[in-house]
Amino acid sequence: MNFLSRLKEFIFGRQINIEHHELQSFPFDVLGTKEAKQFFYKSDSVLCIKNETILDKFKHAPKKSYGYLDTLFKMSWAKHWAQISSKEMRVSTSDHFILMSYDDQNRNELLLKYAEKSLDRIYECLDGVLRKDCGKILIFHVNVDDYYTLEDSFERPESDEGVSSGGMFVRGVVPYMIFHSEPGFDLPDITLVHELTHALLTDNDLPMWLDEALACTMEKTITGECCYDWSLENGLKNIDYWGFETIQKFWVGESFKRSESQEFSYLLAQGLFNVIVKDYKDEFRTFIRHAKRYDAGESAALKYLGVSLGEIANRYLGEGPWQPSENYLKLFYNQE
């Protein structure tokens, strides 16, 4: 990159390259129809992945070929899904994203530019926490009717969020984000930032409460808004809700998936994270890097913050039975 290009990037931000693709002339060496049948199968209007076949392909690939294979399968999946779709689906790409959408080209371009800028901002905010070689990220942007029609297909165990939301990030061999909005209405900026944060954190294997706290924090930081925003009234209701049994469901993530406890869970996650950032501003990134789902982040809290999660919760909720139960965690994760 020459000096002038670097200067432009410094002043205006990095250049974002966007392409809109015709399915008949895809610029990638994607799988042919016959070969695609080895890896994909059709369920209604959804193209599903034969996980065990793709896992085998990736497992035996040379390390230097992994990035190419990653893009190959994501682009192939996008192409073949678009081909079986009952509506005209467009495929567009940018530096870090593959977008499948029913929307028009101009809005697709706006969405990809916003995604790229959000990605840069998240990397800046979570510097030292995220790996930066996650490959291209798949986005499905559909209308609300199709989103709910595909509820059964998208609501699977790997998903961390239900279809009552504006979108979700689905974990799997080929992870992807899906969200909805209608033509003529605002693009789903808040949802995109939230799900993108999940996508970038997927390799960290974080406890759900911390994963959601970070996604909500990025929402607020980048858009100025948050779906589950804290207020004094909400905070007081939140404190009154929790007890020994409910807090254990929070630590393992169950409470985020139930309508009666979902909002309380998001508020508590943000409250705990705010305590950690405030009281441990020099250590919280190291804590995030090492916190793991299997013990709710307890080992990392003890080692890198010097306190238990129960103590962190005491500072937010007041004294109570907040400590993660080792037996509950082992039973939930079927550990020996």
Interval 187-239: pLDDT, tens = 788 889 999 999 999 889 999 999 999 999 999 999 888 776 665 566 667 77
140 vs 40: which has the higher pLDDT: 140
* Pair of tokens at residue 233: 């009234």
β 90-93/97-101 pair status: antiparallel
Range 15-38 average pLDDT: 73
Tell me, what's the pLDDT at 256? 92
Burial of 309 (0-12, 13-18, 19+ CB in 10 A): buried
| Tokens 């994963």, located at residue | 211
Q: Which of 118-132, 136-150, 213-227, 300-314 shows the lowest mean pLDDT across its residues?
A: 136-150
Strands (E), the chain: 19-21, 40-43, 46-49, 90-93, 97-101, 137-142, 167-170, 176-180
End-to-end Cα distance, the chain = 54
Tell me, what's the pLDDT at 10? 43
How far apart are the C-alpha atoms of 210 and 212, rounded to whole Å? 5
| Tokens 């969200």, located at residue | 179
How far apart are the C-alpha atoms of 184 and 36, rounded to whole Å? 35
Range 164-173 average pLDDT: 72
How far apart are the C-alpha atoms of 206 and 215, rounded to whole Å? 12
How far apart are the C-alpha atoms of 310 and 293, rounded to whole Å? 16
Residue range 234-284, pLDDT digits in tens: 666 777 889 999 999 999 999 998 888 998 999 999 999 999 999 999 999
329 DSSP β-pair partners = none
Q: What percent of the chain has pLDDT over 70?
A: 72
pLDDT band at 336 (very low <50, low <70, confident <90, very high): very low
Tell me, what's the pLDDT at 307? 97
